[in-house]
Amino acid sequence: MNQIKQFTQVLRACAIGVGVALSFGASGSAIKADVLYHEYCSVCHGDRGDGNSRAMKSLNPPPRDLTKAGPSLPRDYILHVITEGKPGTAMVGFKSRLNAEQLGALADYVHTEIVSRGAAISAGLVKGISGTSGTTGGTGSVPAPAGSAAPVPPIAAPLPAVKPVAPGERADMGAPFPSGLKGDAAKGQAFYDKNCAECHGVKGDGQGPRAYFIRPVPRDFMQERSRLTLNRPAIYAAVFFGRNGTEMPAWSKVLSEQEIANVSEYVFQSFIRSGEKAAKAK
């Protein structure tokens, strides 16, 4: 009983201490770590951190249930993954979008409010709703126990070089998909409506339900720049590899090459080509 009491006191002290630390950065500016979490993390890990999100059935491995990670997920490892991403998954690094204070605050929030709280709830020490969804966590490798050196993921292979299109110039809109692939736009629409429209919008205008929370904002396929530069190979590469520094995941971890070609063909036909025709009609 004394051990349980001590654990509860330590947990409360940590929560209070981290709460103060999350409120202000070194410069005195307010950092709302819960807002950062819901803006950058909840789309995959869910609002409660249990992996129960719209993306859970579309990602392989699925988003990790952070509420069940327990002591196997130390704060330093959380910070490393948030900063650098995790190869072999759809988890991207946010070092190009968040500063050091924000990254640290977000890591503290995940470790204290989700991981540690989930462990305390599982042990019956505190009441709460974390970790009650029944979903399972990711199937990736388990990090080192607390107190030991966290494993450092290998550096991901760099994206292949893409020839930039100069302002005002137009990409080759007749260029085919790689490997002789032919996309089926009808099949691609079903995947787009279920997975991509949340950010890019049903109309491809970047005005999906989650667009308000995302920075940088999702791509607007109807813009002139998109119509000039996004041919089939460019769209395919973005879907396949994802986009570093954005919330666009690498769908190659989930989809086959044919499925990627299908959704790319739908985007190309429905938004790039249709947008081009609409612009000419004006």
pLDDT in tens, 223-244: 988 888 899 999 998 898 887 7
Domains in the chain: ranges and CATH: 2-122 (1.10.760.10), 178-281 (1.10.760.10)
Give the pLDDT confidence score for residue 18 in this predicted structure: 41
CB 256 within 8 A of CB 246: no
Lowest mean pLDDT among 38-47, 79-88, 151-160, 249-258: 151-160
User: What is residue 147's predicted lDDT score, i.e. its pLDDT?
Assistant: 38
Would the pLDDT of 127 be above 50? no
Q: Tell me the two tokens of residue 80.
A: 């490393």
What's the farthest any 2 CA atoms get from each other in the chain? 77
- Other beta carbons within 10 Å of 177: 21
Average pLDDT, the chain: 73
Select the more confidently predicted residue: 225 or 261.
261
Q: Which residues contact 141 (CB under 8 A, 6 or more apart)?
A: 151
Nearest 5°: phi and psi at 263? -70, -30
Mean pLDDT over residues 16-32, rounded? 49
pLDDT at 213 over 70: yes
Do 241 and 250 meet the contact criterion of CB atoms below 8 Å apart? yes
3-class DSSP assignment, residue 114:
helix
Counting Cα atoms < 13 Å in the Cβ hemisphere of 123 gives 18
Where is pLDDT greater, at 204 or 141? 204
Q: What is the pLDDT of residues 75-103, one digit of tens each?
A: 888 899 899 888 888 888 888 888 999 99
Distance CA 131, CA 48 (A): 8
- Helices 100-109 and 2-23 cross at an angle (nearest 10°) of 150
Question: Is the previous residue joined to 87 through a cis bond, with omega within 30 degrees of 0?
Answer: no
